[in-house]
Structure 1
Amino acid sequence: MTRFEDQDLSQNAFLGGKLHLWQPVKGYRAGVDPVLLAASVPATSGQSVLELGCGAGAAILCLAARVQGLELNGVELQPAYADLARRNAADNSITLEVVTADLTELPPELKQRQFDHVIANPPYYRGGAHSPAQDSGRSAALGEQTQLANWIDVATKRLAPRGYLHMIQKADRLSDILIACQGQLGSVEVLPLAARSGRQAELVILRARKGGRAAFRLHAPLILHRGDRHERDGESYTPEISAVLRDGAAMGPFYTSRR
């Protein structure tokens, strides 16, 4: 698919209405994961950010809604989603440059640039490890076509010295991520995300620094929902997570441990 028609899209509010994004009615639709990723990035005005696999722009535009004055760039393989990211940026009065390309075959002009931050929400499942979605866009977003190690290799090359990579991924892929970081990125920190108290973490957010030398740090799990089980319909996010999702707040652990 090269583009979405208007009747194939819905517009959804993010960050309590601070941001409105067009998304396909059928296809990959952003949930809370890219919002949490954006909230973990300690970017400051004037810095540059590159998102690998930006989709319709949820993560990088949520970051832009919180931090003004960033230089924003995205890479997206699927033309229809790249166009959506451009449209979403324009509709929210945010300047975002999106390149349609395979991240392993970036255009020369992008290969010559380096960024203060690289962010990524790669597909969660190894190729062939999940039932393929009927929609090609959703299938590409969920199922790995480019190995996770390649994402980290490309991110490392595009980072400026002392620049940060932030990546959200399934917890069972953490070993793959840490192996890929060896010899390339340091000052590695991992923030597990658990749905409820007492539950295993299903997701992790990784932060790593180019040229970083600090010791590995594993943070205590960040709990997303109140209570130890689902008891009734309705929102049950913890106050910290609610502030991230509804108010566009930064996510605490990575801000209190800058290294």
Structure 2
Amino acid sequence: MTDSASEFTEDAFLGGQLRLRQPRSGHRAGHDAMLLAAATPAGPGDRVVEFGAGVGAAGLAVARRVTGIDLVLVEIDADLAGLARGNAASNAIAAETIVLDVAAAADAFAAAGLTPDSADVVLMNPPFNDAGRHRASPDQARASAHVATASTLESWVHAARRILKSGGVLTLVWRADGIAEVLAALDRGFGSLAVLPVHGDPRAPAIRVLIRSIKGGRAPTQIHPALMLNDESGVPNKWVQEILAGKGVLPLATL
């Protein structure tokens, strides 16, 4: 990745509370990252790890909302990790950035300082488009950020389960039509699920699901009232706009 200014943009998130430098083309942070951050419970002193952090959008948004967290950004692409590191510094947010494949073995995680039972919170927006139904982008970085392999979700959930403490929280976003895959992956070691369907159009099926789960949790699964991004006329939901502006959180952020 060259450093030509024309290849990057600087974009405002959380109503200008967070400014992120990111590639003009390829995978770019957007609403999914901000909704994931707004659905993630965290408190001062918690070790919060974002998997597949990209330029750091979701993790840095959590850190902007909750002061005093110990934030770790994990990203496989060294160039994106460099941008995440720079974004943390430019926003005066303390964060450790690690170049690591989330599907790597436990010893690679441990060598990077992510030992078993060491994290309080993991949040992640894994590649979730079905390779069999989704035409991959010719941009390799964009394709790898969006298109899942058969083992993507299982390996990411497994890594989260390994590094989370007992009672630790995993929050993730996935495509709504793949919810069965998420529930199956979380059935091994996670419980106390809270599910929030997200609709782009209230007249159409959900496009995303946000899910919060607890390592070792035993409480019944909860399905929250659906989140409508727009009304039937296509007008953006004012409450959602406030959340995207950093003026509120989603119900999943409250344990």
Q: TM-score, normalised by structure 2?
A: 0.92
Q: Find the aligned partners of 1:43 and 1:101 in 2 and give their Cα distance.
A: 23
Q: Which residue is 1:83 aligned to?
A: 82
The question of whether the paired residues in 2 share the 8 Å contact of 1:56 and 1:82 is answered with yes
Q: Find the aligned partners of 2:74 and 2:190 in 1 and give their Cα distance.
A: 21
Alignment of 1:134-213 (within 5 A): 134-145=138-149, 146-213=151-218
One of 118, 121, 126 as aligned partner of 2:130:
126
Q: Deviations over 1:24-69 (max 9, x none)?
A: 1111111100000000112111111001100011100111111111
Aligned-pair distance for 1:239?
2.2
Comparing 92-101 and 194-203, the one that deviates more: 194-203
Aligned-pair distance for 1:237?
2.2
Alignment of 1:51-62 (within 5 A): 51-62=50-61
Q: TM-score, normalised by structure 1?
A: 0.91
Q: Deviations over 1:202-246 (max 9, x none)?
A: 100011101110011111211111x3133xxxxx32222111111
**Does the residue aligned with 2:103 lie in a helix, a strand or coil?**
helix
**What amino acid is aligned across from residue 31 of structure 2 in structure 1?**
V
Does residue 254 (structure 1) correspond to residue 229 (structure 2)? The answer is no
Aligned-pair distance for 1:13?
0.5
Aligned-pair distance for 1:4?
4.8
Aligned-pair distance for 1:157?
0.7
Does residue 107 (structure 1) correspond to residue 100 (structure 2)? The answer is no
Aligned-pair distance for 1:255?
4.4
The question of whether the paired residues in 2 share the 8 Å contact of 1:128 and 1:143 is answered with no
Q: Deviations over 1:117-160 (max 9, x none)?
A: 00000112123431121222111111114521111111111111
The question of whether the paired residues in 2 share the 8 Å contact of 1:39 and 1:248 is answered with no
Comparing 3-12 and 184-193, the one that deviates more: 3-12
Q: Which residue is 1:220 aligned to?
A: 225
The question of whether the paired residues in 2 share the 8 Å contact of 1:66 and 1:248 is answered with no
Q: Find the aligned partners of 1:28 and 1:183 in 2 and give their Cα distance.
A: 30
**What amino acid is aligned across from residue 35 of structure 1 in structure 2?**
M
**What amino acid is aligned across from residue 249 of structure 1 in structure 2?**
G
Where do 5+ consecutive residues of structure 2 fail to align?
none
Q: Find the aligned partners of 1:4 and 1:159 in 2 and give their Cα distance.
A: 36
- 1:180–1:247 Cα change, 3 Å: closer
Q: How many residues align?
A: 249
Q: Which residue is 1:74 aligned to?
A: 73
The question of whether the paired residues in 2 share the 8 Å contact of 1:132 and 1:139 is answered with yes
**What amino acid is aligned across from residue 141 of structure 2 in structure 1?**
G
Q: Deviations over 1:149-177 (max 9, x none)?
A: 11111111111110000000100111001
- 1:255–1:121 Cα change, 3 Å: closer
Q: Find the aligned partners of 2:172 and 2:247 in 1 and give their Cα distance.
A: 18
